[in-house]
């Protein structure tokens, strides 16, 4: 009735971790460093305010090999959401796999969070 649940990543959310197996014997080859940025600004309906929103998050892989930044900023009747995934090195070796897999688990989890808007 008085609440709106907003998935701020819309159709751009990473819904599942591409690294499913718990152990890997071969390197992960991204071929090239990469960066993916999602930016969206929402205008709140009249009479609604943000009741809950995802907490901001900054994650880094060991040796600065990658970074994930997720921010939600509320300013008056607008909400801005930024998700930025940076992979700085093209190849991750088997011993780095567990950290890479957990890094992507955190991204999937954060992208699934919602913003709750309440009337009043």
Summarised one tens digit per residue, pLDDT across range 7-66 is 999 999 999 999 999 999 999 999 999 999 999 999 999 999 999 999 999 999 999 999
- The 10 Å CB-count burial string (b at 16+, else e) for 25-60 is eeebeeeeeeeeebeeebebeeeeebeebbeebeee
Residue 40's nearest CA partner among 85, 76, 72 is: 72
Mean pLDDT for the stretch of residues 68-76:
97
Tell me if 59 sits within 8 A of 84, measured CB to CB: no
Question: Rounded to whole angstroms, how far apart are CA atoms 112 and 89?
Answer: 26
Question: Rounded to whole angstroms, how far apart are CA atoms 23 and 31?
Answer: 21
Structure tokens at 1: 């009735």
3-state secondary structure of 9: coil
- Mean pLDDT, all residues of the chain: 96
Residue 1 pLDDT > 80: no
Q: How many degrees, rounded to 5, is the angle at CA 27 between CA 36 and CA 23?
A: 100
């Amino acid at each position: 009735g008085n609440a709106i649940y907003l998935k701020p990543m819309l159709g751009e959310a990473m819904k599942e971790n591409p690294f499913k197996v718990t152990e890997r014997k071969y390197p992960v080859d991204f071929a090239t460093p990469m960066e993916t940025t999602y930016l969206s600004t929402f205008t709140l309906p009249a009479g609604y305010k943000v009741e809950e929103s995802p907490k901001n998050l900054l994650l880094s892989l060991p040796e600065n090999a990658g970074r994930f930044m997720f921010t939600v900023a509320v300013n008056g009747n607008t909400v801005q959401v930024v998700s930025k995934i940076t992979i700085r090195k093209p190849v991750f070796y088997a011993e780095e796999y567990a950290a890479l897999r957990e890094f992507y688990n955190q991204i999937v989890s954060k992208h699934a969070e919602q913003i709750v808007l309440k009337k009043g």
